[in-house]
Amino acid sequence: MIRLDNISKRYPSGLEALKRVSLELDAGEMTFLTGPSGAGKSTLLKLLMLVERPSSGALLINGKNINRLSRSAIPGYRRQIGVVFQNHQLLSDRTVFDNVALPLLICGYSPVETGRRVRAALDSVGLLQKEKNYPLTLSGGEQQRVGIARAVVHKPKILLADEPTGNLDPQLSSEIMALFRRFQHVGVTVLIATHDIDLINQLNHRIIRLDDGRLSEGDNHAQ
């Protein structure tokens, strides 16, 4: 599903964030991406979101090299992935419903279909009663769940999450993780960047460890 082939990323500042990283994620797999701050976790996610382009190497999604995508093809690619951000990235001037509906609006769903899907997504994160609330009236955990609902409302094949439990207590964190597992169970490929080692050790999933831009021994995929 996702394949990185000798990916390197060097920023204009000279910082080499990723050094010849190669890895492969299968469809329907849930994987944790971990490592200390500055190890290249965010850079890897940015490459997958096409926010940044790799300096060298090939990045294949579903067998297609996305490095070759033109600027105008980026929106279409991004619609196929769902992203959960650390700081939620919710629009504070719109209700929970409108926030979650945003990807569907962009994709061009009819209002009826949009309503149906938004409610289904909010239901799956347990926030159906809060659809008319504004994000700032919700707790941190609830905001993150709205972010997740928005990331999955258009049923993406790939779900990326950048520190989704960054500001949450352990109880809420494991609730969020349980949510991600539910999506994985319906066939979504999930990649979660986190440094919450305790949490991921509780869960029995593949772990990819990045250290100073290199894959370290941590990849227990082959074990």
- Site of interaction with other proteins (CB under 8 A): 26-30, 49, 51, 72, 75-80, 83, 85, 89-91, 93, 102-103, 105-111, 113, 150, 154-157, 181, 184-188, 204-206, 221
CB of 113 to other proteins, least distance (A): 7
Tokens of 24: 């492969």
Distance of alpha carbon 30 from alpha carbon 176, whole angstroms: 14
Nearer to other proteins, 113 or 129 (CB): 113
CB of 151 to other proteins, least distance (A): 9
Alpha helices in 72-167 (DSSP H): 74-78, 96-107, 111-124, 140-152
CB of 122 to other proteins, least distance (A): 17
Give CA separation, 73 vs 14, 46, 59, 107, 179, in Å.
28, 16, 15, 14, 30
Nearer to other proteins, 93 or 169 (CB): 93
Nearer to other proteins, 77 or 134 (CB): 77
Question: Rounded to 10 degrees, what is the CA torsion of 31, 37, 43, 44?
Answer: -20
Nearer to other proteins, 168 or 207 (CB): 207
